[in-house]
Amino acid sequence: MEYMSKISGSLDRKGSIMTILSQMGANFKVQQFEDVENIVISFNPSNKRLVIGAHWDADEGSDGANDNASGCSVLLHTVKAVLAESSFEKSVDFVFFGEEEKGGIGASRYIESVGKENISAMVNADVCGFGDNIFLSDKGNLSNPLFFGLMDETLLAKHKIQLPGFLPQGDDCIFEWSGLPSVSICTAERNAFKVFSEIGHKIAAEQPITEADQEALMNLDVVKTMHGGELDHISHLTGEAVKMVADYLIDGLLSC
């Protein structure tokens, strides 16, 4: 909970992330645009870079602990581990995006500035501090080598990652709509898998999402940790959930 409490409890979320990165010795840059700011840490930049992202902004009126100080904490732990690996050779950009809650502005500006021809794929960490199950929306990317081993089925099984076929939209969709492979990862309670899976099956079959589906989604506890919901506070989150996701990313990046 170390990083999560510092970020979610700060009025200057972006500044808190930069302070933590400076303390760990990370060489970061701030992408400044007229309507948004992103924080980027690049390792071995190339035209085959994997983007691992989390949005630093929060919905207006939201505590923003799970959505998305938790995802930012995942990135911070992962960056710290990569910095300690002197022989790290993979081309990876870790990006803290701004204005995800306003339509993914930060993700859009990042793609425009870097050029989608210089991006291979994207992993989105969003809502990663609640529950004891890891869910990943793979979007058909199992075993896709563009993810540097992170989508290896053996690795996913090792970390007990479940694949429901659907997760609520985030910055990953901005990359997907730009024609780039993307996946999204979150943590949630056990019964969320059934709800996510049923919605995922309907989307794949091009069937309508009903009011009952929407109600089931909104009744999930993990959804109540977002956007000012009744569980939208750090007291309902756990460091173990953040650690599960960070351990998966670290294992995939450093071992595969």
pLDDT in tens, 162-203: 999 999 999 999 999 999 999 999 999 999 999 999 999 999
What region, left, alpha or beta, does residue 32 occupy, with left being phi > 0 and alpha being psi -120 to 50 degrees? beta
**Is residue 57 within 8 Å of residue 41, measured between CB atoms?**
no
pTM greater than 0.95 (yes/no): yes
pLDDT in tens, 54-92: 999 999 888 899 999 999 999 999 999 999 998 999 999
The residue count of the chain comes to 256
Hey, how many other C-beta atoms are within 10 angstroms of the C-beta on 178? 15
* b/e 139-159 (16+ beta carbons within 10 angstroms → b): bebeebeebbbbbbeebbeee
**C-alpha distances out from residue 78 to 17, 72, 140, Å:** 13, 10, 25
Domain ranges of the chain: 2-255
Q: What is the CATH number of domain 2-255?
A: 3.40.630.10
